[in-house]
Every structure is written in C-alpha cells, then in structure tokens.
Amino acid sequence: MTRCSVLVKFAIIAGVLALPGSEIPAAQRGTTPARWITAWGTSQQGLGMTTVSNATVRMIARATVSGEAVRIRLDNTFGTAPLSIGKTYVGPRIQGAALAAGSNKQVFFGQSSGVTIPSGGTVTSDPVALPVLAQQDLAISLYIPDGSVRPSQHANAQVTSYLTPNGSGDLASEEAAKPFTATTTSLFWLKAIDVLSASSTGAIVAFGD
C-alpha cells in the first residue's frame, strides 16, 4: 500500500468521525446529566380504618435507583378533610423502624416544615440532599398533629411500616426504633419517591416492597 493511499483512507475515516451523527452519546461518555426519576411509587386505594391522633407514622419504601437527592410525594386522595402534616423526615432504614445515626433529614414543602394537603390533593416536597443506593429502604416519617385522622392508604403493601402510639406527639426526627411500637402493612399518604439520578434507567414505579 502506498503512502498516498494510506493518507486517503485516514482522511476518509476522520471525515466519517466528524459527521454530526457520529458523536459518541453522552451516556457512553459517562456524562449523563442527572434528572428526576420516580424510584418508587404506589396508588391510594381507599380510606383506612386506623386513626392517627397527634402521632408519627414511619412508612418504609425501597428506592430502585441510586442518586444524590430525593423528593417525596404525598397524597390525600380519599381524605374527607384537609390533611395537616406537622413535620416530615426521610432517611435510610437499617432494620425495623431504626435509621442510621445522623441520617434522618428534614423534608420541607415550599421551604415550610409543615404542609396541608387538601382533600383529594397531592403535594411534592422540596429536594432533599440525601445519597441513595439502588434497592435501599427509605423511611419516610410523618407527624400528624390533628386527632382521629383516617389515612388515605395503599393496603397490603407487602412491607411493614411503623406507628407511634396516639398522643405521643412529634417523633418524626427520632432515629431509634423504640418509639414506633405499632406496625402496619398499609402505606399511609405516601405516593412516590423521586430520586435525582444520572442512571440511564427509565422511570420505575414499584408497588409495595
């Protein structure tokens, strides 16, 4: 092969690589931009028979993708009155109702610690900086200050969640399992968890565990 023909072939190859459609996709370069992915979700099925009065519920849900921040979506689909939530926290569950020490993060809604969800309504929290691993259980703790509130719920969620006794007050920030003496297999008010992730995985909706 002559030196001239080698140069011609090199020029052709270089020209092909320079074509607009030949650029390596961002995902293959490892520079996929982070975006919000629904890493867990469910639908409300009805109004629960349990009543929550000045107590805290700790709902357990498993994120299906990893990421660097989360948003929490809460739902009052079947509520017959506006739902007041005094405090919300989220953190990685280690066992039962227990969270890793120092991991429980407060969740805000429009920069407010409390939120009221109208009957039939849904709210989405502000982003919370919280590293999440795929298949990691998260604990979402909701303090319900009002009395005799029946939850809009997804029943038979195939995962155990936790409650403090009625009248025990705000224990949403508590990381120990001890105050959460009651259990349920229903999910109260929790609609979805969004994760800010650079994963190439598409949106995922998981029911139960």
**Overall pTM > 0.75:** yes
* pLDDT tens digit sequence for 120-170: 999 999 999 999 999 999 999 999 999 999 999 999 899 999 999 999 999
pLDDT tens digits, residue range 9-18?
434 334 433 3
Tell me if residue 3 falls in helix, strand or coil. helix
Mean pLDDT by 10 residues, the chain (209 residues): 43 39 42 91 95 98 98 97 98 98 98 98 98 98 97 95 98 98 98 92 48
Closest residue by Cα to residue 138 from 70, 36, 207: 70
Residues 6+ apart with CB under 8 A from 176: 98
- CA 149 vs. chain centroid, Å, equals 23
Q: How far apart are CA 187 and CA 160, in angstroms?
A: 9
Residues in contact with 70: Cβ distance below 8 Å, sequence separation at least 6, in sequence order: 39, 63, 90, 127, 128, 130, 132, 138, 193, 194, 195, 196
Q: Which pLDDT score, from 0 to 100, does residue 196 have?
A: 98
